């Protein structure tokens, strides 16, 4: 509760600033903002800074779209200072930014802090007739957590270098500061080796043969990240996930011969990544047959001038034996004295675009509201155990950009009280402050969807106004086709077989009745039981009759699961259904029809992100929307993870955005 008042005051300050100055929204939201009346208008900047910084800063400003000129220009004064008032932690990224009638002033302790300030300056600037306009303001800002990153598993997949650069460039604009490059896997070794060229030999790939990164490309990406003040963390997985190493070199990593070969390889890797402070060595999901392997390899990599990161659970380190751990799965644990990166519940290959974004927005990091010696921050990870045909599919179906902007906000701002397993994935219908905070963030997220990510896969649409009533679950006794009273009439409560079944409100375009990770993360039902049927309903008011689209899903097909597609003519294998104005909405024709599970069959249109919206017709006035969601057991032959959930949101016919002028109200209230 101690954070509610500051958050509410911050929201009111932001709204007031926008009203007075018409400022573009800032993301992530700065720690301290004071808006003043007035606007600085200019068509060029006169840069004043230490001579040693001038060339780099000039390049940054030009790349951001500013014109540099000494004549008839607004002054931009950049200083490296020894201290900043009000900054409480992570001073190396902190900055002070002031805009008034005298110009723009940026103070920071480091060049990285200056770079973060420039990203805020870029967001503040709006173009007016080829000029720039900045609202008068005073900002003091710093990140709550020192690591805010994303990871790509390019071992199982492959993302071209230019695409990685584009993602790094776009996300650095929102103060994301880490790219974790998972380069090796059982399936393939994706980093060139001139010492052991057979590692990237065509026959050593089990997927996407011949696709790997040259050493020159690796150096190029290191420099690209450095210019954007992004820390690159390369990962060479050992001794697990190393079948590609064994195939190519003929020795298991944990054998004496394998360790000797691996050390030669580390000589090369550490030379290529000489400018990078960390090397990630994996150590997860493996049986340790050689108790000396991990300690010896950590010592060897450290002798090359590198700090070492390792997954947890993995090798059981004591303080001083490793430089940082990265927690994965619910079993990841903090180890006092060892800094930790939280990736436990940050695997977006399982995420729903809507519900899990809410969970991420509301969650703290590793149980703390700001970083400390033991909690460094968080990394969002995209694992593609299943073959994915294109980078666009990886980005869209995993919700990479909307999820990363959410992480940018939460890890920079901090102040969250609860972790995933306490607060769950729901927008609280009884907490107007929480609703207002999320709606404010969503507005900023969608602003940048249009302004920055217009040409990128960005599936998220507005959901904070989508209101439902969801019934208590009716026992179906294993009969998924069984009908219940909500199919006859919509009511706040129902009587069925002598028992009362209530309805409760819910908000959002994605609702987990039972989360993908079971009851580890709270869903709508506190004690979900198998062999039950749930209903969700709302009324949708449209001021005009119109053609629209609807995004619908009752099972989120994970990008790491070798699942079967839905049967033709059905939404899923659970007999889920949806009606608009009492007319059933039919599913699309499923493009995948295979009857044998395989990780090598890419998802097609199983998920709504992989298909256009279903065309629907809204009538003028109130439209009835009803969803039926049966479930049998929470395990099945068709999919590995049964997801008792739904997505439903009305959108423009092309699916680009939600309909702005409709009202979702289960009680038919237009206000």
- pLDDT at 447 > cutoff 50: yes
pLDDT of res. 179: 98
Q: How many CA atoms lie within 13 A of 338 on its CB side?
A: 25
Average pLDDT (461-466) is 98
**Whole-angstrom distance, CA of residue 504 vs CA of residue 488:** 19
Question: Strand, helix or coil at 476?
Answer: coil
What pLDDT was estimated at residue 433?
Answer: 97
Q: Are 97 and 139 in contact (CB under 8 A)?
A: yes
| More reliable by pLDDT, 206 or 10 | 206
- d(CA 249, CA 233) in angstroms, rounded, equals 25
pLDDT at 20: 42
* Burial class for 633, CB neighbours closer than 10 Å (0-12, 13-18, 19+): exposed
Q: How far apart are CA 315 and CA 286, in angstroms?
A: 9
Percent helix, strand, coil in the chain, to 5, is 25, 25, 45
Binned at pLDDT 50, 70 and 90, residue 3 comes out as: very low
* pLDDT for the residue numbered 22: 58
* Four-point Cα dihedral 514, 518, 519, 523, nearest 10: -20
pLDDT classification of 558: cutoffs 50, 70, 90: very high
> In this model, does residue 8 exceed pLDDT 50?
no
Structure token digits, residue 467:
């209101």
Residue 80 CB neighbour total at 10 angstroms: 16
CB proximity list for 287: less than 8 A, separation 6 or greater? none
Could you report the per-residue pLDDT of 309-322, keeping only the tens digit for each?
A: 999 999 999 999 99
The verdict on whether omega for the bond into residue 239 sits within 30 degrees of 0, i.e. cis, is yes
Segment 586-608, tens digit of pLDDT: 999 999 999 999 999 999 999 99
Instruction: Report CA-CA distances (Å) from 120 to 141, 386, 640.
Output: 10, 38, 43
Mean pLDDT of the chain: 95
pLDDT, one tens digit per residue, over 340-386 is 999 999 999 999 999 999 999 999 999 999 999 999 999 999 999 99
Q: How many Cα atoms sit within 13 Å of 660 on the Cβ side?
A: 4
d(CA 469, CA 325): 43
Label residue 71 by pLDDT band (50, 70, 90): confident
Q: Among candidates 523, 610, 511, 612, which has minimal Cα distance to 554?
A: 511
Cα gap 389→395, rounded to integer Å = 11
Q: Which residue has the tokens 């009202």?
A: 663
Phi, psi of 500 (to 5 degrees): -90, 135
Model confidence over 139-188: pLDDT tens digits? 999 999 999 999 999 999 999 999 999 999 999 999 999 999 999 999 99
Other C-beta atoms lying within 10 Å of the C-beta of residue 544: 10
Q: Would you say residue 21 has pLDDT above 60?
A: no
CB neighbour list of residue 487: distance below 8 Å, 6 or more residues apart? 535, 626, 628
Whether 187 contacts 207, CB under 8 Å:
yes
Ranges of H-type helices in 323-399: 355-362, 391-397
At 129, the pLDDT band (50, 70, 90 cuts) reads: low
Q: What is the mean pLDDT of residues 50-54?
A: 95
The predicted model gives 636-649 an average pLDDT of: 96
Do residues 610 and 556 touch, judged by C-beta distance below 8 A?
A: no
Average pLDDT over residues 409-431: 96
pLDDT at 23: 62
pLDDT value for 11: 47
Whether the pLDDT of residue 133 is over 60: the answer is yes
Q: Which helix (H) or strand (E) holds 10?
A: helix 4-21
pLDDT in tens, 482-514: 999 999 999 999 999 999 999 999 999 999 999
Q: What would the mean pLDDT of 68-84 be, rounded to a whole number?
A: 94
Tell me, what's the pLDDT at 130? Answer: 66
* Exposed/middle/buried for residue 573 (C-beta within 10 Å: 0-12, 13-18, 19+): buried
What span, in angstroms and rounded, lies between the C-alpha atoms of 220 and 215? 9
CA-wise closest residue to 331 among 360, 350, 351, 311: 311
- Cα 357 from Cα 407, distance rounded (Å): 9
CA distance linking residue 299 with residue 292, whole number of Å:
11
| List of long-range contacts for 438-446, beta carbons under 8 Å, 24+ apart | 438/358, 438/361, 438/362, 438/464, 439/464, 439/465, 440/11, 440/14, 440/15, 441/27, 441/29, 441/361, 441/406, 441/409, 443/25, 444/25, 444/26, 444/27, 444/29, 445/27, 445/402, 445/405, 445/406, 446/657
pLDDT tops 50 at residue 7: no
Query: Residue 78 belongs to what H/E stretch?
Result: strand 74-80
In this predicted structure, what is the pLDDT of residue 261?
98
pLDDT for residue 14 is more than 80: no
Which helix H or strand E contains 9, and what residues bound it? Answer: helix 4-21
pLDDT band at 16 (very low <50, low <70, confident <90, very high): very low
**Res. 15: pLDDT tops 70:** no
Q: Which of 344, 476, 367 is nearest to 145 (CA)?
A: 367
88, 142 contact by CB (below 8 A): yes
Q: What is the pLDDT of residue 671?
A: 76
Residue 208 has pLDDT above 90, yes or no: yes
Instruction: Place 19 in a pLDDT band, splitting at 50, 70 and 90.
Output: very low
Residue whose C-alpha is closest to residue 174's, from 109, 233, 230, 91 = 230
Angle between helical axes of 355-362 and 432-451 (0-180°, round to 10): 110
% of the chain beyond a pLDDT of 90? 94
């Amino acid at each position: 509760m101690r954070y509610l008042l500051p958050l509410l005051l911050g929201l009111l300050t932001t709204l007031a600033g926008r009203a007075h100055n018409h400022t573009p929204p800032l993301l992530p939201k700065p720690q301290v903002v004071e808006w003043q009346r007035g606007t600085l208008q200019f068509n060029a900047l006169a840069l004043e800074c230490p001579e040693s910084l001038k060339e780099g800063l000039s390049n940054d400003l030009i790349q951001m779209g500013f014109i540099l000129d000494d004549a008839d220009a607004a002054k931009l004064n950049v200083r490296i200072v020894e201290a900043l008032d009000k900054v409480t932690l992570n001073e190396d990224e902190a900055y002070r930014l002031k805009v008034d009638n005298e110009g723009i002033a940026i103070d920071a302790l480091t060049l990285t802090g200056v770079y973060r300030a420039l990203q805020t300056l870029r967001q503040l600037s709006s173009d007016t007739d080829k000029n720039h306009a900045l609202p008068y303001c005073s900002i003091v800002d710093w990140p709550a957590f020192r690591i805010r990153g994303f990871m790509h598993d390019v071992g199982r997949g492959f993302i071209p270098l230019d695409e990685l650069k584009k993602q790094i460039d776009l996300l650095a604009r929102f103060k994301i500061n880490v790219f974790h490059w998972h380069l090796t896997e059982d399936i393939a070794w994706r980093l060139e080796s001139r010492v052991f060229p057979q590692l990237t030999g065509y026959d050593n790939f089990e997927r996407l043969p011949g696709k790997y990164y040259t050493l020159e490309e690796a150096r190029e990406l290191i420099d690209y990240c450095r210019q954007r003040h992004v820390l690159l963390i390369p990962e060479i997985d050992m001794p697990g996930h190393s079948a590609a190493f064994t195939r190519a070199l003929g020795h298991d990593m944990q054998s004496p011969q394998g360790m000797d070969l691996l050390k030669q390889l580390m000589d090369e890797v550490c030379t290529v990544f000489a400018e990078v402070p960390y090397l990630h060595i994996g150590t997860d999901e493996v049986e340790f047959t050689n108790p000396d392997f991990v300690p010896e390899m950590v010592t060897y990599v450290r002798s090359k001038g590198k700090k070492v990161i390792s997954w947890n659970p993995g090798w059981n380190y004591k303080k001083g034996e490793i430089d940082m751990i990265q927690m994965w799965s619910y079993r990841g644990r903090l180890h006092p004295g060892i800094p930790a990166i939280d990736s436990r519940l940050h695997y977006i290959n399982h995420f729903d675009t809507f519900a899990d974004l809410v969970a991420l927005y509301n969650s703290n990091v590793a149980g703390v509201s700001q970083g400390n010696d033991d909690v460094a921050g968080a990394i969002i990870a995209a694992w593609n155990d299943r073959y994915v045909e294109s980078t666009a599919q990886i980005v869209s179906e995993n919700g990479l950009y909307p999820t990363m902007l959410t992480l940018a906000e939460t890890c920079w701002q901090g102040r969250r009280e609860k972790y995933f397993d306490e607060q769950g994935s729901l927008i609280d219908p009884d907490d107007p402050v929480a609703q207002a905070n999320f709606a404010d963030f969503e507005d900023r997220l969608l602003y940048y969807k249009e302004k920055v990510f217009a040409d990128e896969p960005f599936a998220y649409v507005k959901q904070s106004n989508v209101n439902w009533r969801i019934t208590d679950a009716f026992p179906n006794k294993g009969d998924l086709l069984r009908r219940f009273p909500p199919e006859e009439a919509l009511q706040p409560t129902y009587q069925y077989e002598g028992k009362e079944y209530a309805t409760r409100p819910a908000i959002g375009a994605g609702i987990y009745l039972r989360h993908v990770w079971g009851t580890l993360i709270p869903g709508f039902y506190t004690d979900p039981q198998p062999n039950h049927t749930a209903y969700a309903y709302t009324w949708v008011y449209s001021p005009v009759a119109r053609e629209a689209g609807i995004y619908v899903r009752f099972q989120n097909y994970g990008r790491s699961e070798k699942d079967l597609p839905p049967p033709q003519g059905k939404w899923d294998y659970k007999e889920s259904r949806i009606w608009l104005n009492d007319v059933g909405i039919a599913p699309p024709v499923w493009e995948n029809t295979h009857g044998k599970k395989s990780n090598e069959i890419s998802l097609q249109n199983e998920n709504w992100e992989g298909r256009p919206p279903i065309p629907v017709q809204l009538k003028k006035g109130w439209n009835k929307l009803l969803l039926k969601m049966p479930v049998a057991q929470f395990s099945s032959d068709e999919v590995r993870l049964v997801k008792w959930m739904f997505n439903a949101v009305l959108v423009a016919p092309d699916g680009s955005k939600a309909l702005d002028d409709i009202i979702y109200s289960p009680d038919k209230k237009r206000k």
